[in-house]
A = this chain, B = another copy of it.
Amino acid sequence: MPRDTGGMARTVELLWGVRTPRGTRGPRPGLSVEAITRAALAIADAEGLGAVSMQRVAKDLGYTTMSLYNYVPSKDQLVELMIDAATPPPPVPEDGDGWREEVEHWVRATWDLYHAHRWVLKVPTVHAPLGPNQMAWFEALLHGLSRGGLEGAEVMAVAQHILASARGQAALAIDLATGEDGATADFGEAMLRLATSDRFPTLHGLVAAAKPGGFDVGAEMYAGLRLGVRLLLDGVEGHVERAAPSRP
**Residues on A facing B (Cβ under 8 Å):** 1, 4, 6-12, 16, 48, 50-51, 76, 122-128, 130, 132, 135-136, 138-139, 142-143, 146, 152-158, 160-161, 163-165, 167-169, 171-172, 175-176, 180-184, 186-187, 190-191, 194-195, 199-203, 205-206, 209-210, 220-221, 223-225, 227-228, 230-236, 238-239
Contacts and interface: CB of A to CB of B under 8 A. Distances in A.
Given A6-B182, A127-B172, 5 more contacts: A8-B187, A127-B175, A153-B220, A156-B210, A160-B168
Contact of A194 (B16, B142, B182): B16
Nearest to A158: B228
Contact of A206 (B156, B181, B232): B156
Contacts of A123: 124
A108 to B, nearest CB: 16
A7 B184 contact: yes
Contact of A228 (B126, B157, B190, B206): B157
